[in-house]
Amino acid sequence: MNETPSATRRQMLAAAGGLGLALIVRPAQAQLQANPVALNAAIRKVTGGAKLNKGRVHLDVPPLSENGNTVALGVSVDSPMTATDYVKAIHVFSEKNPQPNIVSVRLGPRAGKAGITTRMRLADTQTITAVAELSDGSFWTETGHVIITLGACLEDVI
Amino acid sequence: MARALINVPAKARKGDVIEIKTLISHVMESGFRRTQTGEAIPRDIVTLFTCSYNGEEIFAAQLYPAISANPFVTFHTVATESGTFEFKWTGDNGFAATETAKIVVE
């Protein structure tokens, strides 16, 4: 007996099944994860297409976090915070959360020090981007990478 | 009324940069989760937090679903004069909370 046709049929079925599975899984993933395009769009919305300079911003995130539901986030910016030279706003963005924005804060010369901390949710291991807008209209950025062992959004289904 | 915790130094010298820590109890339901039967859980988050110092706004934060439950935010300000800080949180489903703290500046 010839084995080849049966093997081919099996392969065909496996391939068809795989294709079907891929078709089902793909849209769900795309819906759940903001992609770099969404991240760039969110950053452009803030900067208005202005040049992003690297530096001056310090992003304080843990290199590894066991729980994506509460990840410490600290952002500070080198600035004298005087009436003429201060940080106007700080924005933090995520690469792989369902939405690119994490937090946006407005500051003024009365802040004295451009430094904030909060706690964020991360869906997956990813790179965090912080963008600071200065009073002279320039934008500064810094990125940090966080490894997440258990992402937010996935666990504890009610 | 949601429970809020505020940490402001009771006393400061004029011109000092002080740190203010705030926390409010809130579920911060992201709107991306589903129940076991597959229904989406509607979003319920605090969207805006502001702080004013003797009536003038000194800090505002726009919060997104990526902020953890019980939003904790710290920031700084210069102690200029004795007075009150007013903290305000507003969010989905008409959520609103205010809290005040006093400071003595010498």
Predicted ipTM of the assembly: 0.90
Dmax (CA) of chain A: 89
Closest alpha carbon to A71 in A156, A144, A155: A144
Q: For residue B28, what is the domain's CATH number?
A: 2.60.40.10
Report the alpha-carbon distance of residue B62 to residue B71 in Å, rounded. 11
- pLDDT above 90 coverage of chain A, percent: 61
Q: How many domains does chain B have?
A: 1
Inter-residue long-range contacts of A28-35, CB under 8 Å, 24+ positions, other chains counted = A31/A98, A32/A98, A32/A123, A32/A153, A32/B32, A33/A96, A33/A97, A33/A98, A33/A123, A33/A124, A34/A94, A34/A95, A34/A96, A34/A97, A34/A98, A34/A99, A34/A100
Query: Which among A111, A112, A157 has the least Cβ separation from residue B34?
Result: A157
pLDDT classification of A79: cutoffs 50, 70, 90: very high
Is A21 a residue whose pLDDT tops 50? no
More confident residue, A67 or B49: B49
Q: Which residues of A touch B33 (CB under 8 A)?
A: 153, 157-158
Q: Are A127 and A121 within 8 A, CB to CB?
A: no
Please give the pLDDT value at position B2.
79
Mean pLDDT throughout A131-155?
88
Tell me the domains of chain A and their CATH numbers. 33-150 (2.60.40.2470)
Is A77 a residue whose pLDDT tops 90? yes
Mean pLDDT throughout A22-27?
45
Residues counted in chain A: 158
Please give the pLDDT value at position A9.
66
Q: For chain B, what is the radius of gyration of the CA atoms?
A: 16
Please give the pLDDT value at position B38.
86
Please give the pLDDT value at position A30.
43
For A89, other C-beta atoms within 10 Å of its C-beta total 18
Round the average pLDDT of chain A to a whole number and report it. Answer: 82
Mean pLDDT throughout A71-100?
93
Mean pLDDT throughout A133-151?
92
Is B90 a residue whose pLDDT tops 80? yes
pLDDT classification of A143: cutoffs 50, 70, 90: very high
pLDDT classification of A92: cutoffs 50, 70, 90: very high
Please give the pLDDT value at position A153.
64
The residue whose two tokens read 């502001």 is: B50
Q: For chain A, what is the radius of gyration of the CA atoms?
A: 22
- pLDDT above 70 coverage of chain A, percent: 75
Interface of B with A in 6-65 (CB under 8 A): 17-18, 30, 32-36, 41, 53, 56, 58-65
Is A152 a residue whose pLDDT tops 80? no
Please give the pLDDT value at position B81.
92
- CB atoms A153 and B30 under 8 Å: yes
- CB atoms A158 and B36 under 8 Å: yes
What DSSP string runs through chain A? ---HHHHHHHHHHHHHHHHHHHHHHHHHHHHH---HHHHHHHHHHHHTTPPEEE-SEEEE--SEEEETT-EEEEEEE-----SSS-EEEEEEEESSSSSSEEEEEE--GGGSS-EEEEEE--SSSEEEEEEEEETTS-EEEEEEEEEEEE-TTTS---
- CB atoms A118 and B35 under 8 Å: no
Among A71-80, B31-40, B76-85, B95-104, the minimum mean pLDDT is found in B31-40
Number of A/B CB contacts below 8 angstroms equals: 100
Report the alpha-carbon distance of residue B22 to residue B4 in Å, rounded. 7
More confident residue, A85 or A23: A85
Dmax (CA) of chain B: 60
For residue B21, give its domain range: 4-33+42-105
